[in-house]
Amino acid sequence: MGEQPDNLLIDQNEYLKSGIHIGTKFKTKYMSNFIYKTRPDGLSVLNLKKIDERVAAAIHMLCQYEPSEILIISRRENGWKALKQLTKWTGITVINGRYPPGIMTNSNLETFTEPKILMVCDPWPDKNAVDDAYKMGIPIIALCDTNNQSNKIDLVVPCNNKGKRSVGLVFYLVAIGYMRKKGLLAGNEEPQFKIDDFVEE
């Protein structure tokens, strides 16, 4: 990975420890821009600096909205603990598990919701939510691994979206970044939570 890149959101070792940069053996054409190299075992390795830049861009995008205007979804269990913590500390709306069909498109449903931005842990298992948000013209942020397609996604955050520690780390950084920019955490104040609080055992 060469020398320590400047001004990362978190120490490079935390990124490496989480395996955030370890992709899959399959890579799509779109994700090739984010791939640093392919290991001898065939796994693609994502570029840490690009991961960091996109996490920062996601935080910047989310900060344009109030917590009630944001919806974050994880069909896969690897994001559930992180999203429970995220909603606890920021008030951002989250859905863990199956996305209830039509809640963004059918105003007759009691559960109808009108988020102004959507973020998903993986655009493949979360594709119904992505399709609905796309229909409604809502910006979409997605954590994308080397094997994801990027159609309909406004901001791709390249990362290992299968690993619990990796997904937990992304949402830990989102929580801190969002709280700082919204004034819920003073400039140098430490948050009351740790990375481990966001990671499934």
Give me the number of domains the chain comprises: 1
Residue 6 placed within a domain = no
Please give the residue range of the domain that contains residue 90: 13-198
Task: Check pLDDT > 90 for residue 200.
Answer: no
Angle at 91 between CA 86 and CA 93, to 5 degrees: 80
Residue 2 placed within a domain = no
pLDDT tier at 188, thresholds 50, 70, 90? confident
Residue 169 placed within a domain = yes
Instruction: State percent of the chain over pLDDT 70.
Output: 97
CATH code (residue 115): 3.40.50.10490
Task: Check pLDDT > 50 for residue 133.
Answer: yes
**pLDDT tens digits along 46-92:** 999 999 999 999 999 999 999 999 999 999 999 999 999 999 999 99
Mean pLDDT rounded to a whole number for the chain? 94
Residue 132 placed within a domain = yes
Residue 3 placed within a domain = no
- What is the full DSSP assignment across 44-80? EEE-HHHHHHHHHHHHHHHTTS-GGGEEEEESSGGGH
Residue 4 placed within a domain = no
Residue 37 placed within a domain = yes
Residue 1 placed within a domain = no
Cross-strand partners of 70: 117
